[in-house]
Amino acid sequence: MMREESAIPLVFKVIAGFALVVLLLPLVIVVLAGLNAGDYLTFPPQGLSLRWVKSFLSSPVFLSAYFYSFLLALCATLISTVVGTLAALYLARSSSKTSGAMRGFFMLPIVLPGVVLGLALYVFFTTTDIGLARTFPGLLICHVLVTCPFVIATVTASLVGFDISLEEAARSLGASPWTAFRKITLRIIAPGISAGCIFAFIVSFGQFETTLFLAVPNHEPLPMAMYISLRYKFEPTAAAAGIFAIALVVISTIVTSRLVSLRRVFKA
């Protein structure tokens, strides 16, 4: 098929370009700061070196924080992808009058300030004394709450215009409900699910405010470790850690979108 002639006005292109620069500039600064040759976190860097990258790679505190965050984000992403997809399907198909209110309720964690949510969960966990305060499961629950709305939103978007008669057609052609869901619905909403996946991972990996209240003592996730390091040392190791965080997010985004499009290629 031929590409349509672009009809985007120049103004929009300029604005988009400007936004891109504003968004990308801090990233560039972090990367350059992480490659700083000097002793302190400064910009512009005093010469380039891998000094602080090496320091990050040999720091037990940063490395364990990095892998802890990775594990946490992975678990949170898996859970919220499944839960969020199911919730989105329910919300899209339920004819119940309460589903609008429920959608708003599920979206709350996005609009609530992280500090408020973190504090609320902390108070809830400690006062009820259910053994979740400052534990991994407690932190995971919090991250699932925060990331789920992103999955719900992207999957809901991909369900707009999804025609239920596709599933019904599959059923009457002999597919069980599960087969029809797997072979039809899931395939069609896959891009939405993978987008949700990426969002969830990024949001969980970078989650700071809520984590502040719920992190397990001596097991700080990366954002907290970076914060603590900067507060007490002001070393460029934190910026070097930032480089690795950015790299992980970029790689996971590419991998996830590849997985989806590869499946497309296999199907076609």
Partner 1 sequence: MSDIRLVNLSKTYGEGNAVSEINLKIGEGEFFSLLGPSGCGKSTTLRMIAGFIKPSAGQILIGSDDVTALPPEKRDIGIVFQNYAIFPHMNVAENIAFGLKLRKRNKNEITWRVTEALKQVGLAGYGERYQRQLSGGEQQRVALARVLVTEPRILLLDEPLSALDKGLREEMKFWIKDLQKNLGITTVYVTHDQDEALTMSDRIGVMSKSKIVQIGTPQEIYERPKTLFVTSFIGHSNMLDVTILGQDANGVTVDLNGQELKTRASSSVTPGGAAKLVLRPENVLIGAALGDGDSRLSATVLSETYQGPIVRYRLKVGEQEIVAERQNQAHVERFSPGTVVTIGWDPEWSEALVA
Q: Is 268 in the site for partner 1 (CB under 8 A)?
A: yes
Quick one: which of 111, 160, 173, 265 contacts partner 1 (CB under 8 A)?
Answer: 173
- Collapsing DSSP states into helix, strand and coil, what is residue 216? strand
- Asked if 175 touches partner 1 (CB under 8 A), the answer is yes
What value, to the nearest 5°, has the Cα angle with vertex 22 and ends 16 and 24?
Answer: 100
Closest CA to 204 of 114, 128, 98, 120: 114
Q: Which of 4, 5, 129, 163 binds partner 1 (CB under 8 A)?
A: 163
The verdict on 26 binding partner 1 (CB under 8 A) reads no
Q: Which residues, other chains included, contact 159 with Cβ-Cβ below 8 Å and sequence gap of 6+? A: 88, 89, 92, 189, 192
By CB under 8 A, the residues from 183 to 202 that bind partner 1 are 183-184, 187-188
d(CA 244, CA 259): 22
- 39 lines the binding site for partner 1 (CB under 8 A): no
- Indicate the residue among 123 and 186 with the shorter CB distance to partner 1: 186
* 94 is a contact residue toward partner 1 (CB under 8 A): no
| Total binding residues toward partner 1, as defined by CB under 8 A | 20
The whole-angstrom distance between residue 76's C-alpha and the CA centroid of its chain comes to: 9
Q: Look-up: residue for tokens 């209240």?
A: 213
Interacting residue with partner 1 among 46, 96, 128, 176 (CB under 8 A): 176
Q: Binding partner 1 by CB under 8 A: which of 27, 86, 166, 262?
A: 166
Helices (H), 112-236: 114-128, 136-159, 164-172, 177-180, 186-205, 209-214, 222-232
**219 forms part of the interface with partner 1 (CB under 8 A):** no
* Contact pick of 44, 165, 217, 266 for partner 1 (by CB under 8 A): 165
> Closest Cα partner for 208 from 242, 256, 174, 178?
242
For the record, the structure tokens of 132 come out as 């979740």
Q: Is 172 in the site for partner 1 (CB under 8 A)?
A: yes
Q: Which is nearer to partner 1, 10 or 173 (CB)?
A: 173
Which residues of this chain interact with partner 1, rule CB under 8 A?
163, 165-166, 168-177, 179, 183-184, 187-188, 267-268
